[in-house]
Structure formats: C-alpha cells, structure tokens
Structure 1
Amino acid sequence: ECRTKRENARLLRRQRANIPEMLEMETFPFSRQPKLDRKKIMSYYDRFDYMTKQRNMVWLGPTGCGKTGLATAFLLQAIDRGQRGYFVTFPQLLQELFQSLADRSEGKVLRRYLSYDCLVIDEVGYVEVEAAQVGQFFTLMHKRHKKKTTIITSNLGFVEWGSFLHNLQLTAALIDRLTENSHVINMKHCTSLRDKLDE
C-alpha cells in the first residue's frame, strides 16, 4: 500500500509538471551526438548534485541538438526522486509574469515559480523582451539563486543575451547568478537531431 501511494504521488508530480514530452535519459541518442561528452553529462545525472546542492544547469546550443530532451531528463529524475518540478518555455513564462502585472497577481505568480524545487525554462532567447519583463525574470532568477535548481536551455551563447534582454547591466548580473554554482553545457558543435529522428 505504501509503495502504491509513493508511485501514485510520483505519477501525479509528473502529470503536474507541464512536460510536453516525457524524454527519459535512457532514450537520448548519444550515439548521434558524438561531440557531446556523454561521460560528463551522465556524471552530473548520477551524482544528482544539481538538486542536492541547488545547482543551475544551462544548456547552450543550436536548435534541434537535444537541449530540451536532456533538460527534461534531468527534470524527470528530480521529480521521480520526490522533488516538485515544472517545465515552461521562456515566452510562456514572460507572458505569465507580464500578465500578472496587469491583474496585480505578480506576487502570487512569483511565489508559484519560486516553490518548484526544479524549474526548466526552455528556449531562452527566442523572443524580444520588454523592460518590465527583464526585471521580472531577473527577480525570479535572483530569488531562486542558490535556493532552488533552475535548468535553462538557450539557442544563444551568453555573449548574445544582451541582444534580446536589452539591458546590459541586468544581463551581466543575471548571467553571473546563473553561472555561479552551475553546470554549463555548451553544445554549439552539436548537430541537429531532428531530421535523423524524423527519418
């Protein structure tokens, strides 16, 4: 009965995590991505210190190279080990935060995003950001810093983040917090898996 309860709780956490596709680590096609350091990634995964030490993870690389799949695999492991997790795209997050300003629910929305033990923010850099949204995003990341784990995927390198955030000082402060006590995985030399997976 206790086992059943635990399993039901795990499945419920997965269900509530808003994950578009349940991409497990076992199914990631490492053989198709030879320039990716499988050993290093699996050591991060097996050590689980991204959760036990509240470390951020940042996946940088071109579209379709597998960043979202890997970020999802780390999130699912956290959920399966009893943590509360959530998956959101950067545009969705910004829209929700911006809308909260209009209906004065900003505190409530921020509290919800601060409550997740592991938060995946996917596709950072795909949209232009308003000044108010930059401030809100920075506040969220600042408050989660060293308290909760945030996993980010981006198709842009850090040097390009100023181009969509339009605030060089806040961008520098944000990257500083994001990279301190973090695992940064650069996949810029990796190729797109999409065509291969569709074949």
Structure 2
Amino acid sequence: MDEQFAQTLKHLRLWGVVTHWEEYVALAEQADGSPLRFLRHVLEEESSRHTENARRLRLLRAKIPDPWRMETFPFERQPNLNKKRLLALYDAFEYMEKHHNFCFIGPTGVGKTSLATAFLIQAIERGYRGRYVLFSDLINELFHSIADHSEAQVLGRYLAYDPLHIDELGYVEMEPTQVGLFFTLMHKRHRQKCTLITSNLGFSEWGSFLKNAHLTAALIDRLTENSYVINMSKCRSLRPVLQGKGEA
C-alpha cells in the first residue's frame, strides 16, 4: 500500500482496512465472486469493528468498577429475590424507552450494585451512553462546581447520561446547596432519562442525610412515580460470592 492511499484510509478512519490490507489483497486475488460482494465483505467487517470499538469506548467512559452482568448474578444464593420479575424487566428493555427508574434498597452485600450494573451495562451495549458514579463522588463534584460557577456544566453532563447509575446513596450528609443541586438533577432527569439508584437506607430514612423534609418528599415522589422499587431488605449477604467484586 502506498503512503498516500494509507493516509486516505486513515483520514476516513478505516483503521481495519489499513491493518488488514495485505490480508484483503490476498483474499481479493483468490476470490472468485463479484467485486461488489468482496467490497461489501470488507465494508461489513469495518462496520463491525467500528461498532465493537464504540461499545468498548462507551463501557470505558461509563467508569464501571466491576462489570457485572445479569447472566452471572448468583440468583440461586438469593432465594428471597424475585428472579422472574427482574429478568422480565431486563429482557423487555422498556426501562430505557419509557425512562423508568430503578431503586434497589437493602443492606450491604445483598447484590444491589451488581444488579443495577447489569441493567446499566445492557443499555450501554445496546448503544446508550451511560455512567456509574458513587453518590459521595457526585455530591462532591456538585459541591465543587459551586466554587467555580460550573454548576450548569456539571448538571448538563450528568443530565446527558442515559442511564445514570448512582451507587451507595445515603453514605454522606449533605449541605443545603448540595441537596438543592442533587434535587435539580433528579428533577430534570424525571421522565426524561433512566436513573438507577442503590441505597442501604429505606425511603423513610432519606431525611437523615438530605436534611430537608420538603425536598426529601419531593425527591422520593419523583423517583418512585415512574420507577421499579426492588426491595432487598430480606435478602442475605453474598459477600463470600461477591468478594473482590466491589460493593454489592
């Protein structure tokens, strides 16, 4: 391949053709089919590479600490979990099109994060741009945005994710300004984007860290009005199974 042609392929971002050029030349010389069929084969392979690279990049940018998938969740060790219902919601995939929320509520180690991550990864692998974030990190980012007046940019970034997985909600206490910004984010995502939340605290305990009865009630109302609440309070700890996989 001459350098000028190589530069043309790179300009068109046909990296697969550049990498596999010699292979394609040899294949073309041996092929007994039509030129159109051969060209279609090359372009279809390049399209598949672009799709796979885009999928990997979306997963990387989602910053998911542990890539749990529904197929690997140990349902057999969680008899109090409604497996049939969860799989029905997962397989139907309506939570993205209808912008449903998920709230996984239960004690540490029962599999909340693992299940929420499975829904997040499914959406990403189907072409959506999603993100995982710890609640404490999100709150800190919102708080620091006030100092440099970048609230609109930070909110805009988190509003763009579909879905957004907010993990371990309730581990940190919040200042009034943080509560206000978090409520604004949830309010603007309401019925527009899918949000996945995990928390060790039941809804009746959210006031302990939000410290604003009015906004707490309004937030819970929005989160539950168009959502699936997965109550895992009676589930058992899976720590021995999930050890080394992060918070469950």
The TM-score normalised by the length of structure 1 is 0.98
> Which residues of 2 match residues 50-199 of structure 1 at below 5 A?
50-198=95-243
Give the number of aligned pairs.
Answer: 199
What CA distance in whole angstroms lies between the structure 2 residues aligned with 1:49 and 1:126? 30
> Residue type of the partner of 1:20?
P
What is the aligned-residue RMSD (CA, Å)?
1.1
In 2, Cα distance between equivalents of 1:8 and 1:196: 31
Residue identity opposite 1:113 in structure 2:
Y
Q: Distance in 2 between matches of 1:86 and 1:198?
A: 23
Q: CA deviation at 1:197?
A: 3.9
Provide structure 2 residue ranges, at least 5 long, that are not aligned to the other structure.
1-45
Cα-to-partner distance string for 1:15-51 (whole Å, 9 max, x where unaligned): 1001001111111000010000000000010011110
Match of 1:5 among 41, 50, 60: 50
- Shift of residue 52, structure 1, vs aligned partner: 1.0
CA deviation vs aligned residue, 1:167-197 (integer Å, no higher than 9, x gap): 0000000000000111110000001101344
**Distance in 1 between the 2:137 and 2:94 partners?**
28
Q: Could you list the per-position Cα deviations for residues 69-116 of structure 1 after superposition, in whole angstroms to 9, with x for gaps in the alignment?
A: 000000000000000000000000000000000011111000000010
Q: Aligned-pair distance for 1:129?
A: 1.0
Q: In structure 2, how many angstroms separate the alpha carbons of the residues matched to 1:69 and 1:97?
A: 25
Q: Secondary structure of 2:102's partner?
A: strand
Structure 1 position 198, deviation (Å): 4.2
My pick for the range that moved more, 33-42 or 125-134, is 125-134
Q: Deviations over 1:103-157 (max 9, x none)?
A: 1111100000001010000000111111111101000000000001000000000
Q: 1:57 to 1:197 in 2, by over 3 A?
A: closer
Residue 14 (str. 1) matches residue 68 (str. 2): no
Quote the Cα distance in structure 2 between the aligned partners of 1:196 and 1:94.
30
Instruction: Give the SS at the match of 1:151.
Output: strand
- Taking a change above 3 Å as real, the CA distance of residues 197 and 16 of structure 1, as seen in their structure-2 partners, is closer
Runs of 4+ in 1 over 6 A off after TM superposition: none
1:24 and 2:80 aligned: no
Out of 83, 86, 105, the residue aligned to residue 41 of structure 1 is 86
Structure 1 counterpart of 2:168, one-letter code = E
Identity among equivalent positions (%) equals 63
Q: 1:80 to 1:37 in 2, by over 3 A?
A: same
> Structure 2-normalised TM-score?
0.79
SS of equivalent to 1:63: coil
Q: Structure 1: which amino acid aligns with 2:176?
A: A
Tell me: higher relative CO, structure 1 or 2? Use CA pairs within 8 A at least 6 residues apart.
Answer: 1
In the alignment, the residues of structure 1 paired with residue 91 and residue 97 of structure 2 have an alpha-carbon distance, to the nearest angstrom, of: 12
